[in-house]
Structure 1
Amino acid sequence: MSRRNSLVTGANRGLGLEYCRQLLARGDHVIATARHPAQAHELNRLAADHPGRLHVLPLDVTDPKAEAEIARELPLVLGDEPLHLLINNAGLLHSGERFGHVAAANLEDSFRTNAMGPFLLTQALAPRLAEGATVANMSSQLGSIAGTTRFGTPTYCITKAALNMATRLLAAALADRGIRVVSLHPGWVATDMGGEQAPLAPAQSVEGLLKVLDGVGMSQSGSFLDWQGKVLPW
């Protein structure tokens, strides 16, 4: 393979931005998406440092029309080349939710961002995926039903559990093409979402996640794994 083509959503900050850095460092051609590219200053600086190897495109994962549009735009960036790695990283967490006061609007936009978006984007980009490609859905251990013992961040937990089901369904749908689909828990990472007190740096988490993705075989497609490759309970 002359080069590997990777697409990362939610690439303007945090894990998404770090994915772009590490994928570029190992030689990938990267398509990075953000809801508002003009405001993604660090991502744009990274693109300037890697002309022709990092393309920044607008994408609101909650908008099915935008997902269909990016599928149409990919040939302008990749030509006839396929996509080898799709990282559905864009996510949303509403903080401060309390039982009895969880807003329907919070649940709706969390579902659109965390579950519907990754599913519909993968479906839209499926014709562009290479045989044997990998799809990574960035989930969380908070989406584990078996691991839930308390009430907290309900809209995030519910929609990450839905994302895990999407992973299983996509894995079944794409199995005959040898495409592997996994849900990944990045650990507790010091990002805007994870907070400064988190023990993992984004670089450490992404380094581990990429090692996991490199080692995923078809027997693990549809699995729920953490950043060190440990299987997590559904």
Structure 2
Amino acid sequence: MPSAKRPPRRSLVTGANRGLGLEFVRQLLAHGDHVVATCRHPARANALNRLVGEHPGRLHVLPLDLADPKSHAELARELPLVIDGIDLLINNAGVLHSGERFGDVPPAQLDETLRTNASGPFLLTQTLAPLLVDGGKVANLSSVLGSIASTDGFHTPSYAISKAAQNMATVLLASALRERRIAVVALHPGWVQTDMGGSGAQISAETSVRGLLKAIDGASIDDSGRFIDWQGKALPW
């Protein structure tokens, strides 16, 4: 049943085939939302496709390669066939290459990470802006690893650099969309038990997403451009 706390909305989630993205889809559906879930290879997204059968008419799975702007344009063309606007855009898709060491960071790896984690969400939001409803929300899944003020060593450089750039994109998008009262926030999900976070992580995807959705629901236009964590606490840039 739809949540009593808010009416159902039209939500789009990127990187929805696993981890946090898949959990976002599950919880948004539980709230009664109409959800568009995107991933690079929908035919292989078995868990998503099972959810389509469980929520007929309320979940659509569409292809998206976040690193390819042509894919953004194709998604924008297909969306009006399944949804008549976007109340909430969750830019969740991202990549993390572990094991990088100073002096041996592959240029191609850094370029790919920047395209996916920073350029991708910025350009996709720009492309989908005409479909965002006035007063809607954009949630960019960031990371405390992208906080320059919190950096204490040479850790995951490609990922950290890309998330710092994504944080700037969040602030710029907040400025660009403020006239339409669209709130744009950067969110740190915590250290989550996913393929990216690893089994030693501190919290489950279910707990993280529950907190993130609470933070998103509570965000107003006055919060646009902020960097907060899954518990709603402000983080330093």
| Same-fold status (TM-score > 0.5) | yes
> How many aligned residue pairs are there?
232
The one-letter code of the counterpart of 2:157 is P
Q: Indicate whether 1:99 and 2:102 are aligned.
A: yes
Structure 1 residues 103-126: Cα deviation after superposition (integer angstroms, max 9, x where no partner): 000110000100011001000000
Normalised TM-score (structure 2): 0.97
1:164-221 deviations in Å (ceiling 9; x for gaps): 0000000000000000000000000000000001110000000000000000011110
Matched letter for residue 16 of structure 1: G
User: Counterpart in 1 of 2:78?
Assistant: 73
Q: Does 1:63 align with 2:73?
A: no
How far is 1:3 from its partner? Answer: 3.8
Match of 1:212 in 2: 215
Output aligned runs, 1:2-21, within 5 Å.
3-21=8-26
What amino acid does structure 2 have at the position aligned with 1:176?
E
The residue number in structure 1 matching 2:128 is 125
Matches within 5 A, 1:15-30: 15-30=20-35
Q: List aligned pairs for 1:158-169, cutoff 5 A.
A: 158-169=161-172
Distance 1:140 1:2, change over 3 A: closer
Unpaired runs of 5+ residues, structure 2, are 1-5
Give runs of ≥4 in structure 1 deviating > 4 Å.
none
Q: Does 1:186 align with 2:204?
A: no
User: What amino acid sits opposite 1:145 in the alignment?
Assistant: I
CA deviations on 1:116-153 (whole Å, 9 max, x unpaired) are: 11001000000000110000000000000000010010
1:99-178 alignment, distance < 5 Å = 99-178=102-181
Unaligned runs of 5+ in 1: none
- The alignment's C-alpha RMSD in Å is 0.9
State the AA in 2 paired with 1:64: P
SS of structure 2 residue aligned to 1:184:
strand
